[in-house]
Structures are given as C-alpha cells and as structure tokens.
Structure 1
Amino acid sequence: MGISTRNHSGGIAEVVVDAPPVNALTVSGWFELARAVQEAGRDPRTHVVVLRAEGRGFNAGVDIKEMQATTGHDALVGANRGCYAAFAAVYDCEVPVIAAVQGFCLGGGIGLVGNADVVVASDDAYFGLPEVDRGALGAATHLARLVPQHLMRAMVYTCRNVTAAELHAFGSVLEVVPRDRLREAALEVAAQIADKDPYVIRRAKESLNGIDPIDVKRSYRFEQGFTFELNLMGAGDRHRDTFVSEGAR
C-alpha cells in the first residue's frame, strides 16, 4: 500500500497509488506522490510516466478525517501544500504523464488528472469537485482543462459530476475502455510515446508547458487562498465536521 513505482522496459515508469479505502491521501501521501512523480521524470531512462491507482476509484481527494482529527491548522496547511506539490509534480514532470482513471476522480484527483498530459479512463469513471460541499475551494484551475468554462462553473457551484464518456466527447479523455482494460490501454499509449526520440519528447513537454495560456500553479495557489478564508470564517470546519459525522466514506 502507499505509493509505488515500477519501471518497465522501453522507458515506461508506472506510479501507482494504493491508499484504501478510497485513495484519499494524507498530507504525507500527497508529498510522497509528488516525490515519486518527480523522481520518475528526472530519471534519464524514463520516457513516459503512467499514473494510476488500485481499488474502487482513482482518487477521492484529501483525507478529511485526518484533517479533522488534527488540532490547529497544520493538517489544513499541509494538505494544501501537499496537493500543490503533487499537482505541480505532474505538470512539471520532465516527460509526459498519462493518467489512467477508474471509478471516482474527485477533488484532488481532478488536480492530478487536469495537469496530466493524456487521460485514459474506464467506462465507469466519473469526475467532480465536491469542494463547495466541503467548505473549500480549489482545482477549478484543473477542471477548466477538462471541461468547457460554463460547465466548469456549473460543476463547482452544484458539485455535479461528469462521466468519462462526456469528457471523451470534449476531447479531454483520449480513450474510454472497460475497467479490466484500463491499465493495458494506458500502457499501450505510453508505449507509443516511449517509442519516440526521448530527447525530442522531453523538449516537446517543455515547449507545450511554455505555451500554456494560464500559469496553473499560480492559478491554483490563488484558489487555495479562498479555502483558508473559508476556514478562518468557520465554514471549512463546519462542513468537514458534517462530512465526517455522516460517515460519507
């Protein structure tokens, strides 16, 4: 369990998240994921990274139970910094990152997938930001890379989800496959990229990041400031306490 990396022949690095029951990561888990992705990308033998998860879903965001069980603001600040580090690690990874998504992809999961270069999903995958219901904000920056602007706003305000099929129609998900073919499909796409000249691919990643119209790291950090405001005003704790007391997990 935890975060593991497996290196395949041909230059494919597979970073796997396994944090039962729902892959909601603790503060240390987010930083561990950031390190794993960074290290994989810095390895000159790596041509491409596949980011995937074990279990029912890809990622359920931050571990709210850990946050509410921690006195003071250390866990809140740690989760914000950890998410920032993990999302940035995916975006800044020196090689393309393919996200393989099954089941739920919520909250922090959107940050990871939205910053990935390619997304492959299972036919039962769905994506959403429940942040407003949790008394928080964030990752709209990354959701805006997956869906059109007005849908992104509606999803933030209403906390509704969208399916992998909908994202495929928008072009943000490359392929939708049966769950039992997800890993295979992601590795197939990875193999196509890994077969290219690795120096050229690394420069392609750098150049594509350089022409992005939005600085995703600065944009996300701006969003995070409102989460701190909500917490200072008591809305954050109130909604997180409700979530924990309802036993939503």
Structure 2
Amino acid sequence: MGIDLHRGAIAEVVVDFPPVNALPAAGWHALADALHTAGADPRTRAVVLAAEGRGFCAGVDIKEMQRTAGPEALLAANRGCAAAFAAVYDCPVPVIAAVHGFCLGGGVGLAGTADLVVASDDATFALPEVDRGALGAATHLARLVPHQLMRTMVYTCRPVTAWELHRFGTVLEVVPAAGLRRAAWRVAEQIAAKDPLVIRRAKESLNGIDPVDVKRSYRFEQGFTFELDLTGTGDRARQRFLEER
C-alpha cells in the first residue's frame, strides 16, 4: 500500500491507497518523490502512472483533514497536490496516465498534467470541488475538455466519460479495464524506442511553449480554497460530505 516505483527503461509509478485512492498529504509527496526519482534515472525513457483498486484517484483524503484541528492538514494536502502535479509536468520524460474507474479532483490534476492519457471504458472524470467547499484543478481539467465544458463541470460537478474525452482527442485510447496497463505500456514502448535525448528535449520544449503556466495557475486556484476555509465554508462542506457518506 502506498506509492510503488518500478524502475527501468519504462518506469511504472503505481498509486495504491485503499479503498478509493484518496491520498493523504504524505502520499502526494511520496508520489512526487517517485516521479522525481524515475525522471532523474538516465535509463528512464517514459513513465506509466497507474493505480490499483476501484479507481485511479479520488483526490485528497478528506478524513485526514477533518480529524486534524487547524489548517495544517489542508495546507499540507494542497502543497502535496501542487508538488505531485508539478512532478508529473516537470518529469523529464513523457508520462502516460493509465486511468480506470473514477478520476476525481486530484486525479484530474494528475491526468491533466500527464503527457498522454489512456483510459478504461469504465473511466469517468469529475471535479467535485464545489460540493466540497474547495476549488482547484480547473487548470488541469482545461487541458482535457473545451473551455465552456470545463466551466460547466466546475459549477455543476458533473462527470464526463473516457469516451467523451476520446472524442476531444485528450484521451488517446479507450480500452477494456483488463487491457488498460498493457495499452499504456504499448504507447510507452513506442516512445521508449525513440532517441532518449531527443525525447527529453521534446518534453522540455513542449512545456516551454505551453500558453498557461500550470503550476502558477493551480496555486492561484488554491488561494480561493484557503479563503473558503477561513470563512468556515470549506470545513462545513467537507463535514457534510463525510456525514452523507
């Protein structure tokens, strides 16, 4: 349980936090560390980011926040998310996200900063942040869906399917769940067959021409989460979510 890193020409980083892969603050930092380690290894030519269990990622561990007095847990989670998303984005080699089941909140942050996304046919993507009294990862959702749909999803918390994202071209391939990891590896193998120096420079150059600074944009969003928490709105929404479950 936790974050597993399997090193090699194709490195695999696997998230495993039962029951729903809602990561505690330390888990986000562990994920960032694993991605840094994979990217720093000169043998690595591509990274597959996958998960075990019922879904790819349910976001942050709200229970951790609610059992911790004061703002420390919220701040730790937000810094952890920022670190993990940045580690995907800044990884010197392409990162292929293999998404199955639910991809919520922080999961969208990971998928939206990945270079490529391969998804299972049961995968859904959503930002339930407004219902949780928080904001964030619209920066990353905007890399997956058109602008007006992104706004609709933020305001209503409605999900979209992997097939919808495939029509937009932001999910490369939709496959049966049993073949998801293999499909992600097939893409990784195509990348790994290229000249590794060229691929690393390609990743750097593509990040350099991005129209939006995703790290700064996400931290701007997080500022409104801090504001909502100071008013007590965030805490009430998180508690209501736990009680309704």
TM-score by length of 2: 0.99
Percent same amino acid among aligned pairs?
Answer: 75
User: 1:3-52 CA deviation, whole Å, 9 max, x = no partner?
Assistant: 001124xx100000010000000000000000001110111000000000
Any runs of at least 4 consecutive aligned residues in structure 1 with deviations exceeding 4 A, and if so which? none
Instruction: Choose the corresponding residue for 1:186, options 178, 184, 187.
Output: 184
Instruction: Choose the corresponding residue for 1:135, options 118, 121, 133.
Output: 133
Rounded to whole Å, the distance in 1 between the matches of 2:69 and 2:34 is 29
Q: How does 1:36-115 map to 2 (within 5 A)?
A: 36-115=34-113
Rounded to whole Å, the distance in 1 between the matches of 2:70 and 2:220 is 22
Q: Is it true that 1:197 corresponds to 2:179 in the alignment?
A: no
Q: How does 1:19-30 map to 2 (within 5 A)?
A: 19-30=17-28
Q: Partner residue of 1:170?
A: 168
Q: Partner residue of 2:6?
A: 6
User: 1:32-78 CA deviation, whole Å, 9 max, x = no partner?
Assistant: 00000111011100000000000110000000000000011110000
5+ residue gaps in structure 2? none
Q: Is it true that 1:210 corresponds to 2:208 in the alignment?
A: yes
**SS across alignment from 1:245:** helix
Q: Please, what is the CA RMSD of the aligned residues?
A: 0.5
Rounded to whole Å, the distance in 1 between the matches of 2:16 and 2:227 is 32
User: 1:90-114 CA deviation, whole Å, 9 max, x = no partner?
Assistant: 0000000000000000000000000
Rounded to whole Å, the distance in 2 between the matches of 1:7 and 1:234 is 44
Rounded to whole Å, the distance in 2 between the matches of 1:202 and 1:42 is 11
Rounded to whole Å, the distance in 1 between the matches of 2:78 and 2:7 is 29
Q: Look up the equivalent residue of 1:3 and give its one-letter code.
A: I
Q: Look up the equivalent residue of 2:5 and give its one-letter code.
A: T
Q: Partner residue of 2:226?
A: 228
Q: Look up the equivalent residue of 1:33 and give its one-letter code.
A: L
**SS across alignment from 1:153:** helix
Q: Partner residue of 1:121?
A: 119
Q: Look up the equivalent residue of 1:166 and give its one-letter code.
A: E
Q: Look up the equivalent residue of 1:170 and give its one-letter code.
A: F
**SS across alignment from 1:5:** strand
Q: Partner residue of 1:245?
A: 243
Q: Look up the equivalent residue of 2:112 and give its one-letter code.
A: G
Q: Look up the equivalent residue of 2:29 and give its one-letter code.
A: F
Rounded to whole Å, the distance in 1 between the matches of 2:128 and 2:76 is 20
Q: Look up the equivalent residue of 1:44 and give its one-letter code.
A: P
Rounded to whole Å, the distance in 1 between the matches of 2:82 and 2:7 is 25
Rounded to whole Å, the distance in 2 between the matches of 1:154 and 1:203 is 36
Q: How does 1:146-161 map to 2 (within 5 A)?
A: 146-161=144-159
Rounded to whole Å, the distance in 2 between the matches of 1:186 and 1:55 is 17
Q: Look up the equivalent residue of 2:4 and give its one-letter code.
A: S
**SS across alignment from 2:97:** strand
TM-score by length of 1: 0.98
What is the total number of aligned residue pairs between the two structures?
245
Q: Look up the equivalent residue of 1:54 and give its one-letter code.
A: E
5+ residue gaps in structure 1? none
How far did 1:244 drift?
1.1
How far did 1:215 drift?
0.2
